[in-house]
Structure 1
Amino acid sequence: MTTAQLYEELNQVNHSKEKRLHYANLILANPDLLPKLLDILFMVDDKMSPRAGWVLEFMCSENIAPLLPYLDVFTKNIHKVHLDSAVRPVAKICELLAKHYTSKEANPVKTTLTTTHKDHIIETCFDYMINDEKVAAKAYGMTTLFMLGYEYDWVHPELKLILNRDFAIQSSAFKARARHILKKMKT
Structure 2
Amino acid sequence: MIIPFLRDDTQGSVTVTLERVDDPTVIGKHPSAHDFPSCTAAVDYPGKGYRALFGWVQLVRSTDNPSAGAAFDMDPFYLFEDAPSPYAFFGINPTLFDAPSRASRDPLDWTAHSFLAWTPMDDTERRVLPLAGFSWGFGIDSAGRITLREVETLAPVDWDAHLPYLGTSHPGWVFEKWQDTLSG
* Structure-1-length-normalised TM-score: 0.28
The answer to which structure, 1 or 2, has the higher relative contact order (CA under 8 A, 6+ apart) is: 2
Structure with more of its chain in strand, by fraction: 2
